């Protein structure tokens, strides 16, 4: 018997919920115990699934961490930010969007960024996942810079390199974690600095 469309949609929703439950459990446990000290069976128990379910969906513990990168994109609001960027032409608003993206990643998903960094130190597969995340971040920045340029606003030839450096975890940590800046202060400073540095 062929599946009815409603049954297929229900199955897809159930599967998406299972994946989200696994990733949320892994995120909590990695943050509490560290990546290296969190076995798959503990994630499975926390998520209320069997270890085989996790292996079937993610392949390995490193695959679970890779899944957190996609969760990070969703929680940081990247799809909405990219849709917003497509509607903008003002260079200050576009660069402000980059500052907001950087803030939302650090504020909403800083734990995932830290997990990737610690996991990359012990697992080459996670290092590759971290590198892929950095590549995707750079492509997003490049897209916004290209949009500024196409709107007729001259930018520094190395604008993407500069923006990626200013939006890095090290700059954020120095200002917010070490110096006690609020996220509002950080976002406002980053917007001003991107505008002053990148626009000619």
Last residue within a domain, chosen from 42, 59, 76: 59
Last residue within a domain, chosen from 59, 74, 94: 59
pLDDT at 6 over 60: no
Q: Are residues 19 and 107 in the same domain?
A: no
pLDDT at 143 over 70: yes
DSSP letter (8 states) at residue 177: I
**Cα 128 to Cα 120: distance, rounded to the nearest angstrom:** 8
Q: Are residues 92 and 48 in the same domain?
A: no
pLDDT at 142 over 50: yes
Q: Are residues 8 and 84 in the same domain?
A: no
Instruction: Quote the domain boundaries for residue 20.
Output: 1-59
Reported as a pLDDT band with limits 50, 70 and 90, residue 161 is: very high
Q: Count structural domains, the chain.
A: 2
Last residue within a domain, chosen from 59, 87, 105: 59
Q: Are residues 85 and 138 in the same domain?
A: yes
CA angle 99, 102, 105 (to 5 degrees): 150
b/e per residue, 135-164, with b = 16+ CB within 10 A?
A: eebeebbeebbebbeeeebebeeebbebbb
pLDDT score at 106? 94
Q: Are residues 45 and 93 in the same domain?
A: no
Q: Are residues 53 and 70 in the same domain?
A: no
Mean pLDDT score across all residues of the chain: 91
Q: Are residues 136 and 41 in the same domain?
A: no
pLDDT digits (tens, 9 = 90+) for 20-67: 999 999 999 998 998 889 999 999 999 999 999 999 999 999 899 889
Q: Are residues 83 and 177 in the same domain?
A: yes
pLDDT digits (tens, 9 = 90+) for 93-140: 999 999 999 999 999 999 998 888 888 888 888 899 889 889 989 999
E-state strands within the chain: none
Q: Are residues 10 and 101 in the same domain?
A: no
Q: Give the sign of the dihedral formed by CA 101, CA 106, CA 112, CA 113.
A: positive
Q: Are residues 1 and 34 in the same domain?
A: yes
The shares of helix, strand and coil residues in the chain, as percent rounded to the nearest 5, are: 80, 0, 20
Q: Is 155 helix (H, G, I), strand (E, B) or coil?
A: strand
pLDDT at 84 over 80: yes
Query: Which CATH number does the domain housing residue 3 bear?
Result: 1.10.10.60
**Residue 193 · residue 171 · CB < 8 Å:** no
Least confidently predicted of 44-53, 129-138, 157-166, 171-180: 129-138
The residues with which 199 forms a beta bridge, in sequence order, are 155
Reported as a pLDDT band with limits 50, 70 and 90, residue 1 is: very low
**Residue 88 · residue 97 · CB < 8 Å:** yes
What's this model's pTM, rounded to 2 decimal places?
Answer: 0.82
pLDDT over 90 percentage in the chain:
65
Q: Are residues 164 and 189 in the same domain?
A: yes
Q: Are residues 76 and 159 in the same domain?
A: yes
């Amino acid at each position: 018997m062929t599946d009815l469309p409603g049954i297929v949609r229900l199955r897809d929703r159930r599967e998406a919920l299972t994946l989200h439950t696994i990733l949320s459990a892994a995120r909590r446990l990695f943050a509490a115990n560290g990546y290296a000290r969190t076995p798959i069976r503990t994630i499975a128990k926390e998520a209320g699934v069997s270890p085989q379910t996790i292996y079937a969906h993610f392949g390995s513990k490193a695959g679970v961490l890779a899944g957190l990168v996609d969760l990070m994109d969703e929680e940081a609001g990247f799809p909405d930010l990219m849709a917003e960027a497509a509607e903008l032409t003002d260079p200050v608003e576009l660069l402000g969007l980059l500052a907001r993206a950087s803030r939302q990643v650090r504020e909403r998903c800083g734990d995932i960024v830290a997990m990737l960094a610690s996991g990359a130190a012990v697992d080459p597969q996670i290092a590759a996942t971290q590198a892929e995340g950095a590549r995707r971040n750079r492509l997003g920045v490049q897209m916004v810079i290209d949009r500024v340029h196409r709107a007729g606003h001259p930018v520094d030839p190395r604008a993407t390199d500069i923006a990626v450096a200013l939006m890095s975890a090290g700059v954020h940590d120095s200002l917010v974690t070490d110096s006690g800046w609020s996220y509002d202060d950080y976002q406002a400073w980053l917007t001003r600095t991107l505008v002053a540095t990148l626009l000619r």
